[in-house]
Structure 1
Amino acid sequence: MVCRALSAGVKSPLLVTLPNSRFPNAELVAALGALTPVYTPLNVREEENKQKLHQLGLLAVGDSDTSSQLEKLVSAYDASFTVCRDVGETGPERMAPPRVAEYIQGAFANGNIKVTVVDDQSVILKDFPLMAAVNRAANAVKEHQARLIRLEYVGEGETQDTFFVVGKGVTIDTGGCDLKTGGHMFGMCRDKYGSAVVGGFFKAIDVLKPKNIKAVGYMCMVRNSIGSRAYTCDEVITSRSGKRIHIYNTDAEGRLTMLDPLTLAKEEALKAKNPHLFTVATLTGHEVLSYGYYAAIMDNGPAKASGWARKVQEVGDEFGQPIEISRLHPEDFAFHLAECEQADLRQGNTKPSVATLRGHQTPAAFLQMASRIDEHGTDSAHPLKYTHIDMGGCEGDHPSVSFPNPLVTLVAGLVLPHV
């Protein structure tokens, strides 16, 4: 109906939502669906100062409290979606790493989120060596140099839960020296959608101001370019955790980009109140083959023991954004053990994920092993909850307007209980 209103030239439509006893969030889901065709791309807004609508009116059929709550949630999700889509959809030059950092600083200016940007390449090389390796070829171009963006929120009241969310932010993924061919480059500007979801998640927090939580986000912004300085297969690189990583495939760069920031987040989590670590990434084609347009979540032992995956899956069903649960097994960890004495772990294999048995599960095992999160299992003195989210292609097909997925579910599951 919103598409029809837009085609008719309507600039201020009124959306009337109806309650449904079977689906308590039906009105919110209907309103969120209306936001997709309303989105105006960032470059159009910047170049033409243009929006599709002057305003979108909401009328909830119910009491005033219901209407007020609906308006509050839709406003928060709208702001969240805009940040997510702006970062995730926009092309690799407009959203090169330095410009993502500038955009995020502007998006959270004078708000409730503290933004810190690591832009010193010597610091990135020293503290985040694998992230630096992925960005090595791009680093020769000042406009493409890596940025690590840290977002932090501390809610009112005593902290009950602490969330650390690390997002993959590859602004364009050529595949590196293992380059993508046959048209598979098209749409690779969305390989930064994990970081886009992190940005959107914090924008929802910025608007909703939940109490009793602390949230820390890392947007790992790099460009996986090809050039004389590109990182290659056969390299062995020592990570922040001290683990030596043998590179097998430069197109498996997402797990490398997130690894060192995840290790930093793990270090912080050891001092935090009830921490839960997350990685969010468009990581594997195997996930797309397995689950289509749905994200997959994989818990480690402590997260599984908390029942988080089942809880958030139920939340996703209730909010109209289903999410799938995928399990890790011992062979996923064994797969990443090094095959030579030079290294502790191998990054992957020489095949694409779609041709690899359990191709989307093993990266979750790798991230745990390489960051040493696996040393904090249920039988350790200091267990840490960790969940890997492989988004696959759940944001939809490029270049159509993306679905900020699983952003709705993450906000509903982690943030709304504290609002």
Structure 2
Amino acid sequence: MSYPTPMIISNLTTALADKSWDALVVIGESFINVLPEPLNEIIIKQAEFDSRINKELTSFISEDVNQTRVILAPIGQTNRYFDDVRSYYDAAKKAASLVLTMGAKKPLLVILGNDKPAYKNAEMVSYLGFSQALWQPLEAREAFGDLIEPISILGVVSSNLNGSNAAALESGRYVARDLCGTEPERMAPPQFAEYCVEAFDRTDVKVTVTDDMAELETEYPLLWAVARASIEVKRHQPRVIRLEYTPPGEINKTLMLVGKGIVYDTGGADLKTGGHMAGMSRDKGGAAAVAGFMKTVAELAPLGIKVVAEIAAVRNSIGAEAFVSDEIITGHSGIRVRIGNTDAEGRLVMADLLSKLREEALDEVNPVLFTVATLTGHAARSVGPYTALVENGVSKANGYGELLVEQGDLLADPCETSRSRREDYEFVQPRTKADDLLSSNNGPSAVTARGHQFPMAFLSIVSGLDKHDVNDADPLPYIHIDIAGSGVEGGDWQHGKPSAAPISALFGAFIDSAD
């Protein structure tokens, strides 16, 4: 099926009188004396013998309510300095799971907001959280059919929620969850590309798939090195997928994104052991998020902003043809890269794409470049469930990282910025004259000092972006986005639902704000 289409109803009384909705879900801080009669009196009476009301998720049946099923989802406190709008997202997710358990198929969502600026998007966030809980993996939908996602319409009582924006954002998040959460054979590189072709059919996004092995070897030598061991298996062969949206009329800004699409990461010759390979089909989360963001762009077709995305869909396999540590490979930019660890493959598959986009960016209007990846365990260790942002000097001077943090907070897609420092650039300097750049050390990033910051320095140098920083003649803003901690719920990379981070933050920062 698909995500639930939001049906916006501006009048609460009208919505509550509509018997076609089969469940009433109320999300808020408190439920007493805030809803119209007779619903208020019904809740008061219910609270007399159920002390859970206002404290935890509660449901009851009442023939005096037109929707019969009533679910009250409290969000908890909002007055502490660390409280944020994710409380609405979490409450909506819990409520959605209960709606499914109760057998409802057409729920009505009522969000009791507040006047605090941090909660101004409570209605949007609640819709997104509800939809997150309803998504089921692509393989499950293919096995069981549409019945596995029984809710196709979600009523939302609101006088200010933009239904088109909400639907477009959830459409992109749905695509991202599909691409990230699907197992490695069903979403091998050729099938990843096929999914993208189908997802953008009859939209304004142009899809180009590079599937010629000779061209990939010549144009993307670092990507090719990672892919070498997979070439002999046709269904595992790499793809480079380009998604391009060009609006009619004047262009005011250009977003250029590269997504890491490692459909399965064995670690290569530096093989993952001790059970750490499980969940590595989600190492394509960055590419999934980039494709999902492009889906949101396709649905909205915003004016004034051009968006270009390139995805490296590759399997990091192990075999006789596998690349190994100590190899020196010359990338698209001409930089000679010494391989430090074959399990640090994500930065390699993005490097050539970023180099090409850097060249294109010089001819674009107000470009901003991004890499999006499930890159390092260090990001998850450093910032927990948050998206880590590492900027170059141009991006920092323009405040793009802080803009993503601000908008991510408002849309329940939180980010944290990390400074890029001289030690990061020193870390990847060559140790001999045989090479120009070191891809990584040979230890796990999680126990490497500045393990999620120094890869941005590597990507900056290997793509040539280090020659376009704040004091250079042609400055280009660049943000490296690491979603290793935020890409799946609960940090469970094998079983957790993909979160679709950082699509909402990107939308809020660069699409919604441009309206």
What TM bracket, shorter-length normalisation? over 0.9
Aligned twin of 2:209: 117
Aligned twin of 1:10: 104
Asked if residue 46 in structure 1 is aligned to residue 142 in structure 2, the reply is yes
**Deviation readout 1:83-119 (Å, 9 max, x if unpaired):** 1011000000000000000010001101111000000
Q: CA deviation at 1:56?
A: 3.0
Q: Secondary structure at the match of 2:450?
A: coil
Aligned twin of 2:188: 96
**Deviation readout 1:143-171 (Å, 9 max, x if unpaired):** 00000000000123200000100010000
- 8 A contact 1:114–1:151 mirrored in 2: yes
Q: CA deviation at 1:239?
A: 0.3
Select the residue among 2, 15, 21 that pairs with 2:115.
Answer: 21
- 8 A contact 2:381–2:485 mirrored in 1: no
**Deviation readout 1:266-322 (Å, 9 max, x if unpaired):** 010011100110000000001111011101111101111111111221111111221
- 8 A contact 2:388–2:418 mirrored in 1: yes
Inter-partner Cα distance in structure 2 for 1:56 and 1:74: 13
Asked if residue 214 in structure 1 is aligned to residue 311 in structure 2, the reply is no
Asked if residue 30 in structure 1 is aligned to residue 30 in structure 2, the reply is no
Asked if residue 311 in structure 1 is aligned to residue 403 in structure 2, the reply is yes
Aligned twin of 1:401: 497
Inter-partner Cα distance in structure 1 for 2:205 and 2:142: 24
Aligned twin of 1:355: 447
- 8 A contact 1:17–1:31 mirrored in 2: no
Q: Secondary structure at the match of 1:328?
A: coil
Percent of paired sites with the same residue: 44
Residue identity opposite 2:187 in structure 1 = M
Which structure has the higher relative contact order (CA within 8 Å, separation 6+)? 1
Q: What TM-score, normalized to structure 1?
A: 0.97
Select the residue among 157, 162, 176 that pairs with 1:60.
Answer: 157
Single out whichever of 387-396 and 170-179 deviates more from structure 2: 387-396
Q: Secondary structure at the match of 1:117?
A: strand
**Deviation readout 1:354-410 (Å, 9 max, x if unpaired):** 121111100000000111100011111111111101111212223122211111111
Residue identity opposite 2:99 in structure 1 = A
Residue identity opposite 1:91 in structure 2 = E
Aligned twin of 2:364: 272
Aligned twin of 1:184: 276
Aligned twin of 1:411: 507
Asked if residue 231 in structure 1 is aligned to residue 323 in structure 2, the reply is yes
Residue identity opposite 1:81 in structure 2 = R
Residue identity opposite 1:53 in structure 2 = P
Residue identity opposite 1:99 in structure 2 = Q
Aligned twin of 2:415: 323
Q: CA deviation at 1:40?
A: 2.0
Q: How does 1:98-177 map to 2 (within 5 A)?
A: 98-177=190-269
Inter-partner Cα distance in structure 1 for 2:310 and 2:112: 38
- 8 A contact 1:241–1:372 mirrored in 2: yes
- 8 A contact 1:169–1:196 mirrored in 2: yes
Aligned twin of 2:91: none
Q: CA deviation at 1:24?
A: 1.1
Mark the CA change 1:20 to 1:53 in structure 2 (over 3 Å): closer, same or farther: farther
Q: CA deviation at 1:18?
A: 3.0
Inter-partner Cα distance in structure 2 for 1:276 and 1:327: 18
Q: Secondary structure at the match of 1:83?
A: helix
Q: CA deviation at 1:41?
A: 1.4
- Stretches of structure 1 that go unaligned for 5 or more consecutive residues are none
- 8 A contact 1:15–1:56 mirrored in 2: no
- 8 A contact 2:123–2:158 mirrored in 1: no
Aligned twin of 1:388: 480
Q: Supply the RMSD in Å over aligned alpha carbons.
A: 1.1
Inter-partner Cα distance in structure 2 for 1:120 and 1:226: 22
Q: CA deviation at 1:15?
A: 1.6
- Stretches of structure 2 that go unaligned for 5 or more consecutive residues are 1-94
- 8 A contact 1:193–1:282 mirrored in 2: yes
Q: CA deviation at 1:60?
A: 2.1
Select the residue among 282, 287, 297 that pairs with 2:374.
Answer: 282
Aligned twin of 2:86: none
Inter-partner Cα distance in structure 2 for 1:234 and 1:273: 40
Q: What TM-score, normalized to structure 2?
A: 0.79
Q: CA deviation at 1:411?
A: 1.2
- 8 A contact 1:14–1:56 mirrored in 2: no
Aligned twin of 1:194: 286
Aligned twin of 2:3: none
